[in-house]
Copies of this chain bind each other. A is one copy, B any other.
Amino acid sequence: MVTTSNKSERVPSDKVNSRVERSRHTVLTTAFELLSEGGVTSFTVDEVARRSGVAKTTIYRHWPTREALVIDACSQMIAEQETPDTGSLEGDVTAILMEIAHLLPTANWSFVLPSIVDTAERNPEFAEIHSRIQRGHAAPLREVLQRAVGRGELSAHADVSTIVAALLGPLFYRRWFSREPIDDQFVKAIIKRVLTSL
């Protein structure tokens, strides 16, 4: 099947940047944009077609159903963040939480996430996606906490999951539940509260 050739890579992956791949990319971009605006509920294949300029027929040639497209679009949010390495636990945690605090009111995914959480409440496929997104958010924190354990800066018996909840919980709470602003002072207060109790 995979034939070699003098030309540069004539395997199936040569279709990258082909017409097929361009359509696919255009649709996915528009889909995510639409998701950010209206959430999963008001997401419509017709609207994606209208806005992207790609014919609805073509969209259904790539995705068998509306839900498949939504899921693919949501998967774009599964992007693991950079893990800082400042040398100290407090420095690392501060870097991570400041980054998240900065993203929470602005990033597109912060507008889509409630929709995914809601859908995940009753749809296993979305529950799986949400789980992956969630792990992506928590991963850097878990890593710097593990490193702190390695350095002896943190007890090996420390409950990492609880600490993550104590750090991320208040930020998320402010963004989606109390809807209060998340300023540096708040973030620092949370970090101090958690770290001094270790």
Q: Interface residues of A toward B: which range? A: 35 or more
Q: Is the CB of B134 within 8 A of A177?
A: yes
Q: Interface residues, chain A, CB within 8 Å of chain B?
A: 38-39, 41, 111, 114-115, 117-118, 121-122, 127, 131, 134, 138, 159, 161-162, 164-166, 168-174, 176-180, 186, 189-190, 192-194, 196-197
Q: Is the CB of B186 within 8 A of A197?
A: no
A interface secondary structure, majority:
helix
Q: Is the CB of B190 within 8 A of A193?
A: no
Q: Which residue of B lies closest to A111 (CB)?
A: B121
What B residues does A111 contact at CB under 8 A? 121
Q: Which residue of B lies closest to A162 (CB)?
A: B189
How far, in angstroms, from A7 to B159 measured CA to CA in the complex?
A: 67
Contact of A165 among B114, B115, B170 (CB under 8 A): B170
In the complex, what's the smallest C-beta–C-beta distance from A178 to chain B, in angstroms? 6
In the complex, what's the smallest C-beta–C-beta distance from A139 to chain B, in angstroms? 12
Q: Is the CB of A186 within 8 A of B162?
A: yes
